Amino acid sequence: MLTLENGKCASPCDSTKNMQNRRLEHSQRNHSRDGLGRCSTTGVNHNEQFHKDFISRCIERATSRRFAFGIESKPAATMAANQECSGNLKRQLEKLFDASLRSTVPDKPCVKPVVTTSPLDRSGDYQCNNAMGLWSMIKGKDSQFNGPPAVGEALLNNLPTSEMVDSISCSVTGPGFVNVVLSTKWMAKSIANMLIDGIDTWAPAPPVKRALVDFSSPNIAKEMHVGHLRSTVIGARSLACSSSQRLKFFAETMLFGMLIEYLFEKFPDTDSVTETAIGDLQSFYKESKKFFDDDPDFKEKAQKAVVRLQGGDPIYRKAWAKICEISRTEFSKVYQRLQVELEEKGESFYNPYIANVIGKLDSKGLIEESEGARVIFLQGFKIPLIVVKSDGGFNYASTDLTALWYRLNEEKAEWIIYVTDFSQKQHFDMFFKAARKAGWLPDSDNTHPRVDHVDFGLVVNGEDRKRFRTRASDVVRLVDLLDEAKTRSKTALIERGKDKEWTPEELDQTAEAVGYGAVKATERQVILSTSMPLLSDKGNTAVYLLYAHARICSIIRKSGKDIDELKKTVELVLDHPEERALGLHLLRFAETVEEACTTLFPNVLCLYLYSLSERFTSFYSIHQVIGSPEEASRLLLCEATAIVMRKCFHLLGITPVYKI
């Protein structure tokens, strides 16, 4: 489940003598939020939930209350080594070649197998690429081999017997590349087993038990706009290969002081304030911002309000809670449409721990005084990381460091991922380095606990190429974008006569699934225009992929056969090249999901899904299904393809359609 994380309250510094510190902090702030804020993550418990929901959402909170800085580091490879994934072909082949390496070069126990998918021009499904590396290690050392090809031959000859490998068809080419051909009979059997046992049996082994993803970042009292889409869509699926709970993050900066004081100005009796009374949230924010910019007295009151809020003043906290409540209602409308579930925990949650964490850092000798502020100097950066401002207030860095400490020690997170645009890169580089300097994180990026910043390009206005900002008058609201996508999808379906074939409910549900799916899949083109191919059924688009799935479902329906009965009674075969190519791609699903999760590139799964659709099209354009002698087997292949596609849609947050 996703969690909302509210607030980063920071007191402003208005003293002229501290201008330099303010400039430094402004520079860091631009990197840490730059207008969008961000959404926070959660913890994952893979062992309890992983096979229950296969790669579901991300994170589960820890229950331990121990506060400690000692975090045990575990190499990622070690953590995953003991978890076998029966669906991952590459992992299974690595085990076979590991045994071969031990027999071929017993005096090189540290050498790990290097197994990759074979290039299209090689005669194999996979290949082992260890020969050249081994030769460079044993060359000239009284070796029994006379070159890389000989090493490759030995690796092939020492490969343990396995029903998954067609040993007769395997070969060694070039400088020792071992080309592995999978047994077609074993491939068909593996797909048939998945049909009976379920696709959860292909779930990849996660490298950690608990992960957190920090993303989305809507701001309190600001409506979500298209600029929030990318972080939300990418972040919500970053660890979709984990059964988890997720957090969403509300940015609470000095704007809270501004909003609270404006609330007092407009509604002296805050108890009577309702969502209806405030009206349009966006207008309320813009009106308060205008007061803040134009009225020095109001600006001063707003600045003092932040300090009172941070200090726990009950009147100000009550007003703050009222604004959060109204904002939460608006945000939920968007998240419901995007199928993002939320568990709320605001940034302000960490305020009680900040002083303690700063004290811990200070006791390690990391914090120094600099022109009234308290900072951490980091090698490789021209500016220090300000953790306490010159007026004693806390800032983004202090809250982020505290949140990281809490997640490592309280929530026992082993992997924390932050999803924001690239402009915030320096902020994350600095506070990650500060955490390593404090000993919270290991020096190696490949050792857990681990942190990663997944950055992406800015979402910009198509006309002036400037980033979207809430204060702009022409910003495109995200709810409007989703409404427009659904409307266009529905219009396209009606033009095809679907309103006469389907019930109104079917038409509405399909229009929503296609429209929202198109927005998610084409989020790099979030500005709708009449020329935008949002609903194109050609090429790598959501509509094409949904159409491909619906066509497969139509084939199965038209056959009139009981698929569940076929699974029990019919042998699936892959006798033709197109059938085998489709089957091989299906079997590569587990390793693709694992790659997407470990590299944090969800587009890997998108490309896999598109390739799967293409391979099915190649198969179906050549081979008849209904009425052919192989009808039963091919229906099972269709069913397997549909199942894998639906799991891909789930991981990408897209609702599949069965008729289109």
CA separation for the pair 74, 448 (Å, rounded): 5
Residue with structure tokens 């902020």? 427
Where does a domain end: 318, 338, 358?
338
pLDDT of 365 reads 94
Q: What is the token pair recorded at 131?
A: 């020969």
pLDDT for 329 beyond 50: yes
pLDDT of 647 reads 93
Tell whether omega for the bond before 577 is within 30 degrees of 0, i.e. cis. no
pLDDT digits (tens, 9 = 90+) for 576-628: 999 999 999 999 999 999 888 888 887 888 889 999 999 999 999 999 999 99
The mean per-residue pLDDT over the stretch 230-240 comes to 50
pLDDT of 235 reads 47
Query: How many other β-carbons are positioned within 10 Å of the β-carbon of residue 628?
Result: 12
Residues 361, 423: one domain?
yes
pLDDT for 340 beyond 90: no
Q: How many domains does the chain have?
A: 4
Residues 274, 310: one domain?
yes
Residues 401, 427: one domain?
yes
Query: Does residue 519 form part of some domain?
Result: no
Which residue range is the domain that position 105 belongs to?
Answer: 89-182
Do 12 and 299 touch, CB atoms closer than 8 A? Answer: no
Residues 131, 176: one domain?
yes
Residues 241, 152: one domain?
no
Q: DSSP of 579-614, one letter per residue?
A: HHHHHHHHHTHHHHHHHHHHHT-THHHHHHHHHHHH
Quote the strand ranges of 362-492, DSSP E: 368-370, 373-376, 385-388, 415-421, 447-448, 450-456
Where does a domain end: 338, 363, 398?
338
pLDDT of 251 reads 45
Query: Mean pLDDT highest for which of 43-57, 364-378, 511-525?
Result: 364-378
CA separation for the pair 267, 275 (Å, rounded): 12
Give the global pTM. Answer: 0.74
Measured CA angle at 547 (ends 543, 553), to 5 deg: 150
Q: How confident is the model at residue 476 (pLDDT cuts 50, 70, 90)?
A: low
Query: Does residue 295 form part of some domain?
Result: yes
Single-letter amino acid code for the residue at 381? F
Query: How many other β-carbons are positioned within 10 Å of the β-carbon of residue 100?
Result: 21
pLDDT for 130 beyond 60: yes
Query: Does residue 429 form part of some domain?
Result: yes
Query: How many other β-carbons are positioned within 10 Å of the β-carbon of residue 113?
Result: 18
Residues 244, 276: one domain?
no
Residues 228, 369: one domain?
yes
pLDDT of 458 reads 59
Query: Does residue 36 form part of some domain?
Result: no
Residues 273, 305: one domain?
yes
Where does a domain end: 338, 373, 391?
338
Q: Are strands 415-421 and 450-456 parallel, antiparallel or unpaired?
A: parallel
pLDDT for 265 beyond 70: yes
CA separation for the pair 291, 293 (Å, rounded): 6
pLDDT of 363 reads 95
**CATH code of 120's domain:** 3.30.1360.70
Q: What is the token pair recorded at 642?
A: 């549909």
pLDDT for 254 beyond 90: no
Query: Does residue 500 form part of some domain?
Result: no
pLDDT for 57 beyond 60: no
- What is the Cα 423 distance to its own chain's centre? 19
pLDDT of 10 reads 32
Of the chain, the percentage scoring pLDDT greater than 90 comes to 38
Do 468 and 218 touch, CB atoms closer than 8 A? Answer: no
CA separation for the pair 397, 387 (Å, rounded): 6
Query: Does residue 13 form part of some domain?
Result: no
Sign of the dihedral through C-alpha 501, 507, 509, 513:
positive
Query: Does residue 203 form part of some domain?
Result: no
Q: What is the token pair recorded at 468?
A: 């979207």
Query: How many other β-carbons are positioned within 10 Å of the β-carbon of residue 443?
Result: 8
CA separation for the pair 643, 551 (Å, rounded): 13
- For 17-38, the three-class secondary structure string (H helix, E strand, C coil) is HHHHHHHHHHHHHHHHCCCCCC
Residues 112, 162: one domain?
yes
Q: How confident is the model at residue 234 (pLDDT cuts 50, 70, 90)?
A: low
Residues 241, 352: one domain?
yes
Residues 229, 375: one domain?
yes
Residues 317, 444: one domain?
no
Query: Does residue 381 form part of some domain?
Result: yes
**CATH code of 562's domain:** 1.10.730.10
pLDDT digits (tens, 9 = 90+) for 266-295: 877 666 666 555 656 667 777 888 888 888
What is the DSSP code (8-state) at residue 54? S
CB burial string 478-488: b at 16+ within 10 A, e below: beebbeebbeb
**CATH code of 362's domain:** 3.40.50.620
pLDDT digits (tens, 9 = 90+) for 161-203: 999 999 999 999 999 999 999 999 999 999 999 999 999 899 8
